Amino acid sequence: MNPMDELNELFRTFRHSSWRWECQGKYAVDEARLQRWRDGLPPDLDAKEPWLDFIRGVVSEGKTWQRVRMLTEPLTEYLRWMLENTQPNVDAGEDIRWVQQSTAQQLAMPGYDFYLFDDRLVAIMHFDDNKLLTRVETSDDEDVVAEHRAYRDKVWPHARPHSAEFTGTR
């Protein structure tokens, strides 16, 4: 199965909560969207609208969609772009928070991205050298889930909610 198809199925089937740890300084993205930002143009929200509609739907059903993004030190271009383009996601209902890399290291957070669905399923994301998602490894093993819940519970209190203060980071 295509890893994005697998993730999309998990997005469609979780019942209560989705929580993500994002710790890569860069991901494969649509280069045209990034170039718009480099050129100082506003984001193309039409391209983002399907995702924002999905989040609005999830939240309207009473589900939570949370994530913590790690801020590399120094910030990568990708993360500067994300900081300036996250507010529409927050407005749609995502609870997105940020944590410094040094704090994540002090907390012994993992060096890989993962989702925790309904506190019962972990989806570890694997990326290639080009930052493309290549594989999703899922586990409902109680010990694996408990380990990843502990990661969430450690970092969440240290992560700052996204707000306007994060813009202007070029």
Expressed as residue numbers, the domain containing 63 is 3-166
Per residue in 57-68, pLDDT tens? Answer: 999 999 999 999
Residues 6+ apart with CB under 8 A from 135: 3, 125, 126
* pLDDT, position 167: 56
CA distance 93 to 85: 14
Which residue in 118, 94, 113 sits closest to 151, CA to CA?
Answer: 113
CA distance 145 to 151: 10
CA distance 151 to 154: 5
Q: Is the pTM of this model over 0.85?
A: yes
CA distance 164 to 156: 20
Does the pLDDT at position 165 exceed 80? no
Per residue in 75-107, pLDDT tens? Answer: 999 999 999 999 999 999 999 999 999 999 999
Contact, 52 vs 88, CB < 8 A?
Answer: yes
CATH classification at residue 36? 3.30.870.10
Structure tokens at 57: 């739907």
Report residue 45's pLDDT band, with 50, 70 and 90 as the boundaries: confident
Q: How many domains does the chain have?
A: 1
Q: Tell me which of 153 and 32 has the higher pLDDT.
A: 153
